[in-house]
Amino acid sequence: MTSKMIKYSKKKVKNCLSPEPYNERKNYSKKMKVNCFIIKNLLFPVFVFLLFIFTACTKDFEDINTNPHGFTTASDGSLFNSVISSLQPGWDEQFYIWNEILYKQSQLAALTKDAWGNFTIGTEDIWRNYYLTLPEVRELEKRFETYETTPEVLNMKAMLKITLALKTFKVADLFGDIPFSEAGYGFHNVALIRPKYDTQRDIYLKLLDDLEWADNNITETATMAEPFVTFKAFDKLFNGDMLNWKKLANSLRLRYALRMSEKEPQVAGLVISDVIENNKPVFYGYDFITPKLEAAAIWPAVMGFKNESLNWSFREHNGLRLGSNIWHQLSLNDSADGSGIFDPRAYIFFETDNFNKWTFFPQLPSVATPSSGGIPYGGHRDQAGNFDIKGENCIYAPFNYFIVRDEDNMPIPIITGAEIHYIKAEAYLRGIGVAMDMMKAEIEYLNGINASVEWWMKVAEGLKLPLSGMSFPEMIQIPSSLSSSSVQMHFGFWNATSDDEKLQFIYTQRWLDAFRQPIEAYSLARRTLLTPHEGDPINHFRLPYPPSEAENNLKNYSEAVARQGGDTPDIKIWWMP
């Protein structure tokens, strides 16, 4: 291979990794498909082969033969930092999957027009993010196995296992069966450049075991010795706080055990019982009357990046508005003046239209329904005097500008303390892993409402527009009469007429808390079929695999498709009842 070819290969990897602005990436995508299967599995073996050839003549050429971009020069911490950074949702993932598909299917918002049918750009983005990160994970796994088994090294292993579980659950929940046990090893073993697909069930059981291992092996006080001292400096999620890592492990155990409880009730029950009955550390929203408001989230300013993709995905898409479904969970009536609003999160999630009206877009529009328009997500609003200019055609209430524009202080939630309360509430109400206990279910449920409302209000208080510096409290006034208490007055268990309705209340509030976690809201809707919904029941259960897999891993892809019954959105994934 010539030096020119090597440079070209490196350029392809760089292009696939760089989060370039949409207009630049769009033209590139039209010219050629980024073959991420080849990049993630073939280029690394090529580099390994080249290194083998070059090392045949190494005397006095050590500096020349050192690859400045290879794993050999990357520290453990820098590799882990890259893995943590990959938790950010991609530009195209947000645009084509979150905004075009998941908000519509979960009905957390209304998609006012189906304008972007090329969703495969989004699925390729998700696939690329995961499989370009896996080689870094596998490299760290290999290194850790060579280290002395100390509490510090066990902490590092646990952090990696938890992060890998978080990423893998996400991809499996969107697609079903995926390459996992053999994936990411292509640069170690050429025989694994086309990895097999593992069943989603096997993946779930393996990841839950890994999370349990992490909980059992984390030592919260092991912070004084290398290599952990240096390693934890690269932890931009919790800054090396091992109690928070333990909370994340157990919180994820609850989330995913409950998700699979319809198909694996015994295994799920044991996991839930272990976490709850043994009082394992998890994220707390409320400790009875004391607000904790804990959560795992990516805070852009803390991690040292600007979340420019957030506003871009709304500004360029411009199709999401307040829908009738979510409106009816936030307001007692359809008064456009907002007099029926009982939930303060309405003012955080959405804002009025260009005429200062709370006008919702019907979830099931007729041909006579006027189309949406305007420029509610345009950057011009981040200038003094222009905030209220949303365009004359903005006749439906848009997402609140602050939560889609603040690229520094708007968090990317991973899992909240409120979600854990709702999970516990469902477990107690249904008797999953714990004895049925309606009183405990109600306590956890009310803690969930308190935690969610107050967490979101705290987030809103810290939001600022990046150019003008205008803050949310300066521009948006939430009526003082609205609080978690006003939500409880409408959605308290005492308003329910049956246990089934209480369960629906739990799902409704968990669904609302996941407003900026559309993948989680989508999963909840698919699992329960009881989240707020208008029209026919949801019939969209998964994302089709990205085209690159059919092109480059055909045999394994075909086996996975046949095993699951197809590769279309109406095919239920494993844990669905």
298-311 pLDDT tens trace: 999 999 999 999 99
pLDDT of 203: 98
Residue 57 in this model has a pLDDT that exceeds 70:
no
d(CA 100, CA 109): 11
Residue 229 in this model has a pLDDT that exceeds 80:
yes
User: Range with the lowest mean pLDDT among 3-17, 304-318, 398-412, 517-531?
Assistant: 3-17
Residue 137 in this model has a pLDDT that exceeds 70:
yes
Q: What percent of the chain has pLDDT over 90?
A: 83
376 DSSP assignment: T
Q: What percent of the chain has pLDDT over 70?
A: 88
SS in 3 state form for 74-110? CCHHHHHHHHHHCCCCCHHHHHHHHHHHHHHHHCCCE
For residues 388-409, give the mean pLDDT.
98
d(CA 184, CA 181): 9
Residue 69 in this model has a pLDDT that exceeds 60:
no
Structure tokens at 456: 């979101």
pLDDT of 408: 97
pLDDT band, residue 222 (cuts 50/70/90): confident
147-196 pLDDT tens trace: 999 999 999 999 999 999 999 999 999 999 999 999 999 888 888 999 99
12-49 pLDDT tens trace: 333 333 334 444 444 434 333 334 444 444 444 444 33
447-459 pLDDT tens trace: 999 999 999 999 9
User: Range with the lowest mean pLDDT among 35-39, 135-139, 528-532?
Assistant: 35-39
pLDDT of 71: 58
d(CA 253, CA 256): 6
Q: Which residues contact 283 (CB under 8 A, 6 or more apart)?
A: 247, 248, 251, 292, 294, 295, 296, 415, 416, 417, 420
pLDDT of 72: 59
For residues 50-60, give the mean pLDDT.
35
Strands 295-298 and 320-321, bridge-based pairing: unpaired
3-state DSSP assignment of residue 471: strand
Environment class of residue 291 by beta-carbon count within 10 Å: exposed (0-12), middle (13-18) or buried (19+)? middle
3-state DSSP assignment of residue 40: helix
pLDDT of 94: 98
Q: Which residues contact 310 (CB under 8 A, 6 or more apart)?
A: 94, 404, 405, 407, 410
Strand stretches in 102-233, DSSP E: 110-111, 178-179, 197-198
- Contact assessment for residue 345 and residue 515, using Cβ atoms and an 8 Å cutoff: yes
User: Range with the lowest mean pLDDT among 15-29, 219-233, 256-270, 356-370?
Assistant: 15-29
Class of the 3-282+544-564 domain? mainly alpha
Amino acid at 362: P
pLDDT of 191: 84
Structure tokens at 418: 């409120």
Residue 345 in this model has a pLDDT that exceeds 90:
yes
pLDDT of 396: 98
pLDDT of 26: 42
d(CA 90, CA 19): 8
d(CA 352, CA 365): 20
For residues 500-511, give the mean pLDDT.
98
Structure tokens at 433: 């892993």
pLDDT of 20: 40
Domain positions in the chain? 3-282+544-564, 300-528
d(CA 415, CA 252): 8
